[in-house]
């Protein structure tokens, strides 16, 4: 068998990745310094542990961020790959440096609720950018990957349990009001990370089964401006041949698609699901009319 070869990243892609990881780390450090630290609010994961330890010991936050994440970089190298480990080490190193350099950042608000909302928003954008471009700023996700191999829990469940424990610990250090504000910040950051990684475009996949497949497919192409793909299937009850129409639309086109399908077959089977990302093809093409 031929060995699998991996293409090297072009210089432009390396620069692009480095730029956005740097930007993400800078945004996260800025939010920690301007919103979280002044109001005693923490994030989940290794960042949350670092904030607690820095508060207790008065040792520079950047030191804890780097040292506590370093073992997970080594694990990431073995479990995920060299590129991920290098990108993660680069991001964590920058985060540690930025939190040290931003020592004179002014506190943007003394209101803990505003700090939780806007700090969580900025934190989510920063972390999301780093993840989107192949790195990580926290080792919690790698813990989840390891534990899912020996436990029946998903990565999300492991990370959530880990973070609930950390955020709960904040109650003993910063007080329970601050722990609840930290929970708000974590939730806002969690949702913002998803939006940053997946984008704001709500894309949907559509599967249609109908005896009028050709007419529906042509209408979707002509009236909605979307290409379609036909799959051959077999009915489960009668064993008859079926054609399955597949296409991808935006959320705003869903109502029009249903109307088009009903024009040709009111009893057609239509299944619509969300898609995180779409690349290639002619999806960007606009509807003709």
Single out the residue in 178, 198, 218 at which a domain terminates. Answer: 198
Q: Answer yes or no: do 62 and 183 share one domain.
A: yes
b/e burial code for range 22-49 (CB count within 10 A of at least 16 → b): bbbbbbbbbbbbbbbbbbbbbbbbbbbb
Q: Answer yes or no: do 218 and 105 share one domain.
A: no
Q: Answer yes or no: do 229 and 121 share one domain.
A: no
Residues in the chain: 289
- Is residue 283 situated within a structural domain? no
**Per-residue confidence (pLDDT) for residue 276, from 0 to 100:** 64
Q: Answer yes or no: do 192 and 75 share one domain.
A: yes
Q: Answer yes or no: do 119 and 70 share one domain.
A: yes
**Per-residue confidence (pLDDT) for residue 10, from 0 to 100:** 76
Domain region containing 259: 203-275
| Cα–Cα nearest to 96, from 43, 44, 33 | 33
Q: Answer yes or no: do 137 and 257 share one domain.
A: no
Angle, helix 61-79 to helix 45-57, in steps of 10 degrees:
150
Residue % of the chain over a pLDDT of 90: 26
Q: How far apart are CA 199 and CA 49, in angstroms?
A: 29
Q: Is residue 280 left, alpha or beta, with left meaning phi > 0 and alpha meaning psi from -120 to 50?
A: left
- Is residue 23 situated within a structural domain? yes
Residue 278 has pLDDT above 70, yes or no: no
Q: Answer yes or no: do 207 and 73 share one domain.
A: no
- Is residue 87 situated within a structural domain? yes
Q: Answer yes or no: do 150 and 231 share one domain.
A: no
Single out the residue in 151, 174, 198 at which a domain terminates. Answer: 198
Per residue in 62-110, pLDDT (tens digit) is: 999 999 999 888 887 877 678 888 888 999 999 999 998 988 788 888 8
The vertex-232 CA angle with 229 and 233, nearest 5°, equals 130
Single out the residue in 156, 174, 198 at which a domain terminates. Answer: 198
Residue 187 has pLDDT above 80, yes or no: yes
b/e burial code for range 261-288 (CB count within 10 A of at least 16 → b): beebbeebebeeeeeeeeeeeebeeeee
Q: Answer yes or no: do 256 and 124 share one domain.
A: no
Quickly state the pLDDT bin for 151 (edges 50, 70, 90): confident
Element (H, E) at 248: strand 241-250
In this structure, which long-range contacts are made by residues 151-156, counting pairs with CB atoms below 8 Å and at least 24 apart in sequence? Answer: none
Q: How far apart are CA 265 and CA 224, in angstroms?
A: 17
Number of structural domains, the chain?
Answer: 2
| Domain containing residue 252: CATH number | 3.30.70.120
Q: Answer yes or no: do 167 and 92 share one domain.
A: yes
Say how many CA atoms lie within 13 Å of 129 toward its Cβ: 19
**Per-residue confidence (pLDDT) for residue 67, from 0 to 100:** 93
């Amino acid at each position: 068998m031929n060995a699998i070869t991996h293409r090297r990243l072009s210089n432009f892609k390396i620069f692009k990745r480095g730029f956005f990881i740097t930007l993400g780390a800078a945004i996260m450090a800025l939010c920690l310094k301007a919103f979280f630290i002044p109001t005693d609010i923490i994030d989940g994961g290794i960042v949350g542990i670092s904030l607690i330890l820095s508060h207790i010991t008065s040792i520079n936050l950047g030191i804890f961020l780097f040292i506590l994440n370093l073992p997970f970089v080594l694990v990431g190298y073995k479990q995920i790959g060299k590129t991920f480990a290098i990108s993660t080490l680069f991001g964590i190193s920058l985060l540690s440096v930025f939190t040290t350099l931003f020592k004179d950042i002014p506190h943007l608000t003394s209101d803990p609720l505003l700090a939780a909302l806007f700090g969580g928003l900025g934190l989510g954008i920063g972390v999301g950018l780093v993840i989107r471009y192949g790195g990580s700023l926290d080792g919690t996700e790698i813990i989840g990957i390891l534990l899912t191999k020996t436990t029946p829990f998903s990565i999300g469940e492991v990370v959530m349990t880990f973070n609930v424990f950390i955020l709960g610990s904040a109650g003993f250090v910063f007080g329970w009001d601050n722990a609840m504000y930290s929970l708000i910040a974590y939730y806002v950051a969690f949702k913002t990370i998803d939006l940053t990684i997946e984008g704001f475009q709500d894309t949907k996949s559509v599967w249609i089964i109908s005896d009028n497949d050709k007419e529906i497919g042509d209408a979707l192409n002509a009236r909605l401006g979307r290409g379609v793909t036909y799959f051959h299937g077999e009915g489960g009850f009668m064993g008859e041949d079926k054609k399955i129409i597949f296409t991808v639309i935006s959320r705003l086109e869903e109502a029009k698609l249903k109307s088009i399908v009903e024009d040709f077959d009111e009893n057609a089977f239509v299944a619509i699901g969300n898609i995180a990302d779409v690349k290639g093809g002619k999806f960007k093409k606009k509807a003709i009319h």
